[in-house]
Amino acid sequence: MMKLSLGPILWFWSKQSVFDFYGKAAEWPVDTIYLGEAVCSRRRELKPDDWFDMARDLKACGKEVVLSTQTLIESEADLRRLRRICDQNEFMVEANDQSAVQVAARHNIPFITGPSMNLYNVASLKVLARQGLKGWNLPVELGKVSLEELIKGLRAEGLDLPAEVFAWGFLPLAWSSRCFTARHYNLPKDNCEFRCLEHPDGMELRSRESQELFRLNGISTLSGSRYDLMRELPDMERMGVSSVRLSPEHLGMDEVVKRFDQVRRGEAPATDPLQLVEAPPCNGYWYGKPGMELVGQGQSVP
Amino acid sequence: MELVCPAGSLPALKTAVDNGADAVYFGFRDSTNARQFAGLNFNDKRAGEGIEYAHSKGCRVFCAINTYPQPDGWEQWKGAVDRAAGLGVDAIILADMGLLDYAANKYPHIPRHLSVQGSATSYEALSFYKDNFDIRRAVLPRVLSLDQVRGVAKHSPVELEVFAFGSLCIMAEGRCYLSSYLTDESPNTRGACSPAKAVRWQETPQGLESRLNDVLIDRYGPGESAGYPTLCKGRFEVEGSVYHAIEEPVSLSTLDMLPKLKELGISAVKIEGRQRSPAYIADVARTWRHALDNMEARPDDYKVDPAWRNTLSGLSEGGLTTLGAYHRKWK
């Protein structure tokens, strides 16, 4: 049976909200939990030791815990945080940048790559396998055709590298040195007043025709529609996908997890995309279409 | 410091060489490079002619194969590396780890440069590429402040090339999927950002509208100059305000900080714009040649000639230039 994973929280939540969230997540039927700040170096509500403590608690609850690293590494301070995450021998690391691969490999820490690492072919996966890669996420802009080829290619090479797919949530699409939230409030990035805290699911960016295009979240830009591959789970199971990733939201996540769990167990039909925070669903990338599109809505699973 | 200029076509290549480029870079006429434009780029014959011309004038030639091959494209991308090697280029600019591995093993004697699309923003990332593929040089993404560039340069195991002038990409290059989210093509997959096939212009009672796969990117009032609808430079609504929520149409220019870049040990400055005309390339290459020569001759007394600034403003998006992320206050 495919594993369910909770990706790192991509938004900026208060310390208490984060503790509350994982307190509940400990009880959910998820197998793997990614912990840590993957977006912005200024988001430090939780100190490294807070994350380590939480990681141990969740591990004690039977969860596999992976420590996530920052996606855009720009400064010496970013590297210090990265080294701190790799300076342990209890947990795997989610590498979201080549810096993390380099540091993890040097510390002999096994790692999984997050969806922002550019892994488009088997040759690239082989390079990382030599460094200690234990699992990988499909880049979000790729779909099932490429994934199927990648899984087949890995098998042909005799490489056992479990594949994970970002299957639910707002897609992380871009990272910048500019903070778009600070920009909206006319604040310098270095003195952003942590306004992201006021937007626990980002800020909606709409076209002038009110089309929901993106969500601004500090230095990152996410999709305006929510990626939802619930109906595609049987497809993934058949292809040999090991794990599906659900990206945390601050409302209703327990329902999302419950529903995905039922579907992976074959206990419920994969219909009715979940609507929690209001946002249109999309699944275009999976079908080789523009990511924002929705293919086959309302049809039964093929 | 080396002046690296874009060559989108043979005439552009020759113009760049004639106007002072130390090196030019080109791509093949397909999606193996990150600037796939209709009618631009090179087939093998034209590339051969260009390389011969450049070499005869002492100019080096780099070939950019900097998109990410998916399984069904592997043979084609590998073939592009073979073609570049066969043509006798001075370096291959690569982004994909698999292709870097292939090139390092098959053509160890041909220098490998890490493309900006490889998205290396720290010296640890650079060390990864150096240790695994023995790259000689890396092009830094346009997301680092000057202080951050200093930090990277101090510990960098390889030569560094930075962007000097041209369109400003404000997302970490190689990690931006906004374009494929709207159109199915991105720089990584197809070498295209906001591809022309998805662009539509329309005069409406509200004004001239630009659309990308039917999404309204911008709407222009009377007399307002309209730019190409690169999606991150459109005007959108956030919490009731309509503005350039991601970035204004503006160009990057580092003319003012040349001595600083030299002091940091930067090996080369890169001009963006393989999609530009030979006339544009001529003006930009000549201006930067003057600036570099001037700086090399009198590094302590470098001053930007107002004439250079005028020339470059006339060639910039919206007539405006910025120091972009190099400027700490940039937001």
- CATH code, domain with B75: 3.20.20.70
Average pLDDT, chain B: 94
CATH of domain A3-173+222-287: 3.20.20.70
Check A118 against B330: CB less than 8 A apart: no
B192 chain-A contacts, CB cut-off 8 A:
none
CB-CB: which of B119, B182, B237 is closest to A290? B182
CB-CB: which of A76, A127, A182 is closest to B151? A76
ipTM above 0.85?
yes
Planar angle of CA B236, B242, B247, nearest 5 degrees: 55
Residues B38, B104 within the same domain: yes
At residue B318, the pLDDT reads: 72
CA B249 to chain centre: 16
B329 chain-A contacts, CB cut-off 8 A:
188
| Residue B179 predicted with pLDDT over 70 | yes
| Residue A121 predicted with pLDDT over 80 | yes
At residue A301, the pLDDT reads: 40
Check A290 against B331: CB less than 8 A apart: no
Report, as an integer, the average pLDDT of A240-262. Answer: 96
| Residue A235 predicted with pLDDT over 50 | yes
Residues B259, B288 within the same domain: yes
Check A175 against B238: CB less than 8 A apart: no
Q: Which of A104-108, B12-16, B310-314 has the lowest mean pLDDT?
A: B310-314
Residues B23, B158 within the same domain: yes
On whether residue B98 sits in a domain, the answer given is yes
Residues B163, B27 within the same domain: yes
Share of chain B above pLDDT 70, in %: 98
pLDDT tens, residue by residue, B93-110:
999 999 999 999 999 999
B176 is in an annotated binding site: yes
Q: Which residue among B244, B264, B286 closes a domain? A: B244
Residues B202, B58 within the same domain: no
| Residue A299 predicted with pLDDT over 60 | no
Check A221 against B178: CB less than 8 A apart: yes
Q: Which residue among B210, B244, B278 closes a domain? A: B244
Check A178 against B331: CB less than 8 A apart: yes
How long is chain A?
302
Q: State the pairing for strand pair B251-253/B159-167.
A: antiparallel
On whether residue B279 sits in a domain, the answer given is yes
The answer to whether A65 and A58 are in contact (CB under 8 A) is yes
Residues B218, B143 within the same domain: no
Rounded to a whole number of angstroms, the distance from the CA of A183 to the nearest CA of chain B is 6
Residues B117, B238 within the same domain: no
Question: What CA–CA distance (Å, rounded) separates A150 from A135?
Answer: 13
On whether residue B185 sits in a domain, the answer given is no
Residues B131, B204 within the same domain: no
pTM, rounded to two decimals? 0.96
Report, as an integer, the average pLDDT of A32-54. Answer: 96
Report, as an integer, the average pLDDT of A115-122. Answer: 97
Number of domains in chain B: 2
| Residue A188 predicted with pLDDT over 60 | yes
Question: What CA–CA distance (Å, rounded) separates B82 from A197?
Answer: 51
At residue B115, the pLDDT reads: 98
Q: What is the secondary structure of A214-238 as a DSSP string?
A: EEEETTEEEEEEEEE-GGGHHHHHH
Question: What CA–CA distance (Å, rounded) separates A65 from A6?
Answer: 10
Report, as an integer, the average pLDDT of A147-153. Answer: 98
A contact test, residue of B100, B130, B175 with most A CBs within 10 A: B175
Residues B130, B97 within the same domain: yes
A196 is in an annotated binding site: yes
For residue A215, which of A256, A187, A189, A247 has the smallest C-alpha distance? A247
On whether residue B312 sits in a domain, the answer given is yes
CA A43 to chain centre: 17
Residues B78, B154 within the same domain: yes
The range of the structural domain enclosing residue B217 comes to: 194-244
Residues B228, B291 within the same domain: no
Q: Which residue among B244, B263, B286 closes a domain? A: B244
CB-CB: which of B129, B143, B237 is closest to A206? B237
The answer to whether B128 and A98 are in contact (CB under 8 A) is yes
Check B245 against A184: CB less than 8 A apart: yes
Q: State the pairing for strand pair A133-137/A212-217.
A: unpaired
Rounded to a whole number of angstroms, the distance from the CA of B298 to the nearest CA of chain A is 32
At residue A277, the pLDDT reads: 58
Check A146 against B71: CB less than 8 A apart: yes
The answer to whether B73 and B94 are in contact (CB under 8 A) is no
Residues B110, B200 within the same domain: no
